[in-house]
């Protein structure tokens, strides 16, 4: 009787009991990843991504053995799950926690890397694929497939970048590599769509111009949408905040508005990743200062936790999915060919990234007067290396191009899917494992901190803002006051981005903050948490 | 070109564009509910549930008009969505934020109301349904359907109860009505399953005993599972906490462990709601004290926010689903019959609840020596009234019994579904609207506070724990020290629940807290947040 008792509840809950088993195992594995990741944190080689990948692979093997080789994954890889639920919190949190000053100071370099760089990488990988794959006997690839391969392997994995680079240790590199990853997405969307909709056999200057126009349209509208959503949330919370506090409502509104901006971007066919990234930046600049102290602590950590869990989820998932037996069965008769294709693609990824990082860094350095702001050769090598990882975005794009409804029919498509998995696993594990030691060898912490002081002055945060750990945003803001204000004359004579930043500050202080709130511009309300920092609501 | 650009992304994201439109509208409506709910907070009649229901109904009408009467809802009502994603955070948060002392002091009364009371209500509604529906010409109801109706309309809506009763204003009523709602679920699971699996035409004493045994098994194992999951999380976080803080990991582990306990209960066919409720209680008693200060603030508000959004989501959903044209088309030829059935069911709900609240309160009062602890007649009326609301649980049960894969085929089933919706809407809106004024009339705040002082001593929390707003748990704990310690002799002579509580405190202090942590029992670690309350990590 007892075992029958809940049959109803299970029937209510899910259509079959096996999916409950899967969900249990998956949640338990997530817990295991967190605990093991915590225990291995001191280890200089490991990081949470690689732990999750390894646990995912291990579980995949166990499931493969227990089911007698029938299946290896608990859940089928779903693009919906990835793009609708897992990616938004990661990118939003990145925007929310990014050091804004650092990001905007390097804005032109980031754009150069993300847009032009991705195009160069795309061209080299596509040309290389045409050159090498024609010689190999792997079936006839259409021009669309070749170009799709270029787009798939040009997509830098910004999730993995967040794991291996540390914003506090290497802020310049972090903002360059991560910012590039975000812009890279917009470029990938345009590229991938162009491949699927343009007439690829008749490329002329009109189509090329359309392509550029489309990119600019996508970039500007996506950014504007994110900024508007962020400003709207700041305005709403500032107006609603008439002496009454409701942390739950504030936190809920911030999460929902951010998600709404992502979904609106999807609705209007924009780059949702760009939108939610800029929404995060605006929210941390205005909205975050309009809410109660406990809302600030909650949002800061809740967004980071969501992002953290989503990241582990993705890597666990990719690790488990990699052993899916269906895909490997197709290519089991020609293992050498698959290894060959994977090696060629890995080589092209390395080459494609080198082909834009070094020339574009040279170009970027030409525009900088101060040697402090230039990207040194060691930093260039690190940027090149840290962006080599390919992750869930590449997987999702490959599934989109080479499978129909999750199944791999053709021999050629199976090779492409397995090669993508191989490249993703190899680049994440090998390149990922080597990034932390590489950063330490090329840019030792002591020297690193010295060279970074000019671009990211660290204020004694524990004295100024004892309640805000990690000095979320206030660090950059305080810094700008300490450094910029007394030297505004020199600044106007120096590089233009500083001047732009200076005028932005004046515009922000005189117009934006009084309307949308922000640090120090929330009106005084009796009993408000800004009145007394020790009183928590 | 621009509009084509993102076609790929949409294809990646969701199978069709209309679901993106639906999600946007739904998220926007959630935001609207929060803002409007905030603006109407001062209103003594309204609450967030009714606002969400009204907005849902309004949106349903607009969609009905714009689609020309084809459809009224954005999403199809899904039991999976409700039981797997929306209910767990609500019940977990209720356990996490519940005043534990109040809850356990009234444990026997809660059990009496939740188990025996639900059975009485079930019997009366079933008998009433047999009596009245036989006279009406609505088709032949099977005995299983009749009993299912009894179970469906005995399921108190604990979500709505949380909205209309205030834990701080009326702690005794809150713990009684809400606690009853949680136990009610376990009873409903057994009842509903019994109806679907037992041979209903041959009920004898053996089956009745099996039924009682099954209920006890379900209750005890579900509770133990929740307690074990909570203790495991406390132990893990205490052991992992060797001088290093990681708020993100702690928050993630707490959320994942709580969810794991819910899913494990589903896996073992237990009452997942009971499990996650007790997991929340244990987590707030042990785990919550082992984490960093910022984790405490984050979990407290993040859980409340999740629960808040899930609640609004449910009411918005029910409001929208109520206008689904498919269901009403079947009964459009006999509107009077549907109104009749709904009225009879509403009457039976009122009668069934009255039939156990007043007699059981009388029984409960017989065991209490002190007049302060007795439930007064005014309080009994409030308990009766506040538990009359039927909500999403009733909807889910009705869909499970009377539809096949979400569609209503039979005329009789259509009447039952529409009647359930009518009862849910009417009880939520009318009874819900009248609960707040009723509580104010029957139990005026000043008198209320006086009569409550004995059962819930309010310590001057702003002095003792300035950093913990709402005095989460510490209020009850401090209170127990102030009141119980000096009067332990008197206590031993007084009612047994106090004695049990006293021995529990001793066991907790000498054995549980040193192992699992808890308030004041986290070992001192240099740089730990317990060392300096102002320093936030």
| Size (chain A), residues | 537
Q: Which of B38, B249, B260 sits opposite A240 (nearest CB)?
A: B38
Residues of A in contact with B6 (CB under 8 A): 189, 193, 218, 266, 268-271
Looking at chain A from residue 383 to 412, which residues have their Cβ under 8 Å from any Cβ of chain B? 396, 400
B23 close contact with A: CB closer than 8 A: yes
Write out the two tokens for B198. 């037992």
Residues A75 and B133: their CA atoms lie apart, in Å, by 46
Residues of chain A with pLDDT under 50: 1-15, 405-406, 447-494, 523-537
Give me the residue label for tokens 């392997």.
A153
The 10s digit of each residue's pLDDT in A422-449 is 898 888 888 877 877 888 788 776 544 4
Q: A271 CB near a chain B CB, below 8 Å? A: yes
Beta-carbon separation of A263 and B23 below 8 A: yes
DSSP, res B404: B
The answer to whether the CB of B51 falls within 8 A of the CB of B32 is no
Residues of B in contact with A469 (CB under 8 A): 294, 536-537
Contact A6 B38 (CB under 8 A): no
Residue in the structure block whose two tokens are 């009789």? B412
A2:B218 CB<8 A: yes
Q: Which residues of A touch B298 (CB under 8 A)?
A: 297-298, 300-302, 305
The reply to whether B267 touches chain A by the CB within 8 Å rule is yes
From CA B289, how far away is CA B512, in angstroms rounded? 13
Do A138 and A415 form a contact (C-beta atoms < 8 A)? yes
Q: How far apart are CA A274 and CA B387, in angstroms?
A: 48
Answer yes or no: is pLDDT of B350 > 90: yes
Supply φ then ψ for residue A468, to 5 degrees.
-110, 95
DSSP-derived 3-state class of residue A479: helix
* pLDDT at position B498: 63
Q: How many A/B residue pairs have CB atoms within 8 Å?
A: 274
The Cα A412–Cα A126 span in angstroms is: 17
Window A:35-54, CB contacts with B under 8 Å: 35, 37-39, 41
Kindly state the percentage of chain B with pLDDT values over 70. 72
* Nearest CA among A9, A74, A20, A7 for reference residue B260: A20
Q: Cβ contact (<8 Å) for B244 and A13?
A: no
Interface test with A, best of B256, B398, B533 (most A CBs within 10 A): B256
Interface membership of B248 toward A (CB under 8 Å): yes
pLDDT at B497: 57
What pLDDT sits at residue B228?
95
pLDDT, residue B230, reads 94
Residue A453 distance to chain B (closest CA, Å): 24
Query: What integer pLDDT is reported at residue B70 of this predicted model?
Result: 64
Residues in B closer than 8 angstroms to A8, CB to CB, are: 189, 192-193, 196, 400
B154 contact A CB<8A: no
Q: Where are the alpha helices (DSSP H) in A67-170?
A: 79-80, 87-97, 100-105, 107-111, 118-135, 143-152, 158-164
CB contact under 8 A, B256 and A34: yes
Q: Any chain A CB within 8 A of the CB of B3?
A: yes
Residue of chain A with shortest Cα separation from B242: A39
Report long-range pairs for B26-32 (Cβ below 8 Å, ≥24 apart). B26/B74, B26/B75, B26/B316, B27/A256, B27/A259, B27/A260, B27/A263, B28/A260, B29/B55, B29/B56, B29/B59, B29/B316, B30/A252, B30/A256, B30/B309, B30/B312, B30/B313, B30/B316, B31/A253, B31/A256, B31/A257, B31/A260
Nearest CA in chain B to A20: B267
For residue B248, give the chain A residue with the closest CA: A305
Q: Say what the pLDDT of residue B231 is.
A: 94
Q: How confident is the model at residue B133 (pLDDT cuts 50, 70, 90)?
A: confident
User: What is the C-alpha separation between B204 and B190, in angstroms, rounded?
Assistant: 17
Given an 8 Å threshold on Cβ–Cβ distance, is B2 in contact with A302?
Answer: no
Question: Chain B partners of A38 at a C-beta cutoff of 8 Å?
Answer: 240, 246, 249
Q: Nearest chain B Cα to A5, which residue?
A: B193
Helix runs in A165-246, H state only: 171-197, 205-240
Q: Which residues from chain A sit within 8 angstroms of residue B1, using beta carbons?
A: 210, 213-214
Q: How far is A296 from chain B (nearest CA, A)?
A: 9
Q: Give the integer Cα–Cα distance in Å for B388 and B373.
A: 24
List, as ranges, residues 214-243 from B with C-beta within 8 Å of A. Answer: 214, 217-218, 236, 240
Quote the ipTM score: 0.78
Which residues have a Cβ under 8 Å from the Cβ of A468 and sit 6 or more positions away? A296, A461, A474, B536
- pLDDT value at position A226? 94
What pLDDT does B57 receive? 86
Closest CB from A214, A396, A535 relative to B5? A214
What are the tokens at B22? 């639906």
Q: Which residues of B touch A240 (CB under 8 A)?
A: 35, 38-39
Out of A133-137, B37-41, B403-407, which region has the weakest mean confidence (pLDDT)?
A: B403-407
First to last CA, chain A: 49
> In this complex, do B256 and A27 lie within 8 Å of one another by their Cβ atoms?
yes
Q: Which of A168, A301, A475 is nearest to B536 (CA)?
A: A301
Cβ neighbours for A429, distance < 8 A, ≥ 6 positions apart: A50, A53
* Res B349 pLDDT > 80: yes
Query: Which of A6, A298, A301 shows the shortest C-beta gap to B270?
Result: A6
A26 touches chain B (CB under 8 A): no
- In angstroms, the CA B388 to CA B357 distance is 11
- pLDDT tens string B205-235: 787 788 778 778 888 898 899 999 999 999 9
Chain A hits for B232, Cβ within 8 Å = none
**Minimal C-alpha gap between A17 and chain B (Å):** 7
Q: State whether residue A30 sits within 8 Å of chain B by CB.
A: yes
Q: How far B349 CA sits from the closest chain A CA (Å)?
A: 23
Ramachandran quadrant class, A494 (left: phi over 0; alpha: psi -120 to 50; beta: rest): beta
Is residue B168 predicted with pLDDT exceeding 80?
A: no
d(CA A139, CA B525): 64
Greatest Cα pair distance, chain B, in angstroms, is: 84
Nearest to A252 among B244, B272, B308 (CB): B308
B517-524 long-range contacts, CB within 8 A, separation 24+? B517/B234, B517/B237, B517/B238, B517/B286, B517/B287, B517/B289, B517/B290, B518/B234, B518/B285, B518/B286, B518/B289, B518/B290, B519/B289, B519/B473, B519/B474, B519/B477, B520/B289, B521/B289, B522/B238, B522/B241, B522/B289, B522/B290
Contact state of A267 with B24 under an 8 Å Cβ cutoff: yes
Angle at A168 between CA A162 and CA A172, to 5 degrees: 75
pLDDT reading at B493 higher than 50: no
CA atoms of B106 and B299, how far apart (whole Å): 27
Contact B11, A83 (CB under 8 A): no
Token pair for A337: 């060919």
A301 and B248 in contact by Cβ < 8 A? yes
What is the C-alpha separation between A272 and A262, in angstroms, rounded? 5
Closest by Cβ to A269, choosing from B5, B196, B217: B5
The structure tokens 């080597």 sit at A434
**Nearest in space to A227 (alpha carbons), one of A99, A114, A93, A95:** A95
Higher confidence at residue B112 or residue A135? Answer: B112
CA–CA gap between residue B106 and residue A107 (Å, rounded) = 62
- CA dist., res. B458 & res. B476, Å (int): 8
Torsion sign, CA atoms B30, B31, B34, B35 = negative
- Judged by DSSP in three states, A319 sits in helix
User: Residue B519 gets which letter from DSSP?
Assistant: T
Distances (CA, A) of B1 to A20, A201, A210, A263: 44, 18, 8, 21
Comparing A76 with B472, which gets the higher pLDDT? A76
Q: Give the pair of three-digit tokens for residue B61.
A: 């009408």
Q: How far is CA A476 from CA A94, A104, A284, A296, A471, in A?
A: 16, 12, 12, 17, 8
Q: Is A404 strand, coil or helix?
A: strand
Answer whether A150's CB lies under 8 Å from A167's CB.
Answer: no
- Rounded distance, CA A8 to CA B157, Å? 19
Please say whether the beta carbons of B33 and B312 come within 8 A: yes
- Tell me if A31 and B534 make a contact (CB, 8 A cut-off): no
| Least reliable range by pLDDT among A263-277, A326-340, B265-279, B416-430 | A326-340
- Are the C-beta atoms of residues A375 and A171 closer than 8 Å to each other? no
Q: Return d(Cα B43, Cα A32) in angstroms, integer.
A: 47
Q: The pTM is what?
A: 0.79
Are A8 and B189 in contact (CB < 8 Å)? yes
Contacts with B15 from chain A: Cβ below 8 Å: 80
Interhelix angle A87-97/A293-321, rounded to 10 degrees, is: 140
Provide the pLDDT for residue A346: 93
Instruction: Check: CB of residue B122 under 8 Å from CB of residue B150.
Output: yes
Mutate which of B3, B26, B27 to disrupt the A interface (most A C-beta within 10 Å)? B27
A309: nearest CB among B11, B252, B536: B252
User: Which of B136-150, B275-289, B293-307 has the least mean pLDDT?
Assistant: B136-150
Do A5 and B269 count as a contact with CB atoms less than 8 A apart? yes
Within 8 A by CB and 6+ apart from A514, the residues are: A521
CA-closest candidate to residue A173, choices A236, A265, A228, A110: A110
**Partner residue opposite B308 with nearest CB, options A84, A248, A534:** A248
Residues 309-368 of B with CB under 8 A from A: 309
B518 and B286 Cβ atoms separated by less than 8 Å? yes
Residue B229: closest C-alpha in chain A: A28
Give the C-alpha separation, A15 to B31, whole Å: 31
The answer to whether A534 contacts chain B (CB < 8 Å) is yes
């Amino acid at each position: 009787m007892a075992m029958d008792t809940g049959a109803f509840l299970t029937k209510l809950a899910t259509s079959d009991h096996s999916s409950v088993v899967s969900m249990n195992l998956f949640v338990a594995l997530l817990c295991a990843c967190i605990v093991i990741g915590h225990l291995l944190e001191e280890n200089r080689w490991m990081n949470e991504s690689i732990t999750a990948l390894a646990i995912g692979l291990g579980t995949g093997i166990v499931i493969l053995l227990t089911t007698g080789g029938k299946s290896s994954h608990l859940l089928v890889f779903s693009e919906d799950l990835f793009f609708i639920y897992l990616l938004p919190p990661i990118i939003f949190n990145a925007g929310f926690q990014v050091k804004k000053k650092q990001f905007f100071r390097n804005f032109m370099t980031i754009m150069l890397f993300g847009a032009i760089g991705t195009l160069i990488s795309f061209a080299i990988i596509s040309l290389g694929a045409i050159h090498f794959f024609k010689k190999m006997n792997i079936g006839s690839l259409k021009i669309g497939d070749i170009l799709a391969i270029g787009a798939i392997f040009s997509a830098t994995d910004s999730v993995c970048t967040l794991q291996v680079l540390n914003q506090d240790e290497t802020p310049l590199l972090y903002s360059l590599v991560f910012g590039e990853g975000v812009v890279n997405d917009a470029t990938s969307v345009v590229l991938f769509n162009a491949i699927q909709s343009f007439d690829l056999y008749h490329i002329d200057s009109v189509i090329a111009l359309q392509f550029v126009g489309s990119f600019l349209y996508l970039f500007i509208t996506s950014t504007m949408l994110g900024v508007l959503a962020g400003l709207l949330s700041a305005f709403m919370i500032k107006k609603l905040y008439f002496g009454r506090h409701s942390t739950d409502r504030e936190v809920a509104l911030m999460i929902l508005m951010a998600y709404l901006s992502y979904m609106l971007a999807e609705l209007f066919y924009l780059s949702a990743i760009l939108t939610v990234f800029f929404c995060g930046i605006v929210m941390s600049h205005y909205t975050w200062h309009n809410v109660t102290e406990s809302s600030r602590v909650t949002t800061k950590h809740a967004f980071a936790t969501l992002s953290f869990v989503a990241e582990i989820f993705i890597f666990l998932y990719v690790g488990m999915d990699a052993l899916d037996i269906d895909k490997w069965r197709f290519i089991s008769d020609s293992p050498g060919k698959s290894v060959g294709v994977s090696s060629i693609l890995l080589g092209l990824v390395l080459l494609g990234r080198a082909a834009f990082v070094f020339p574009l860094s040279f170009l970027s350095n030409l525009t900088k007067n101060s040697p402090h702001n230039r990207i040194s050769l060691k930093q260039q090598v690190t940027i090149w290396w840290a962006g080599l990882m390919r992750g869930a975005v590449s997987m999702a794009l490959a599934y989109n191009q080479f499978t129909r409804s999750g199944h791999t029919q053709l021999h050629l498509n199976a090779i492409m899917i397995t090669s993508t998995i191989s490249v993703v696993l190899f680049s994440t594990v090998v390149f990922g494992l080597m990034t932390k030691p590489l950063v330490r060898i090329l840019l030792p912490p002591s020297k690193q901190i010295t060279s970074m002081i000019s671009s990211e002055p660290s204020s004694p945060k524990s004295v100024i803002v004892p309640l805000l750990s990690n000095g979320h945003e206030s660090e950059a803001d305080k810094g700008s006051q300490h450094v910029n204000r007394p030297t505004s004359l020199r600044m106007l004579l120096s590089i233009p981005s500083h001047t732009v930043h200076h005028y932005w500050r004046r515009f922000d202080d005189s117009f934006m903050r009084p309307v949308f709130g922000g640090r120090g511009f929330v009106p005084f309300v009796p009993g408000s948490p800004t009145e007394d920092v020790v009183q928590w609501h």
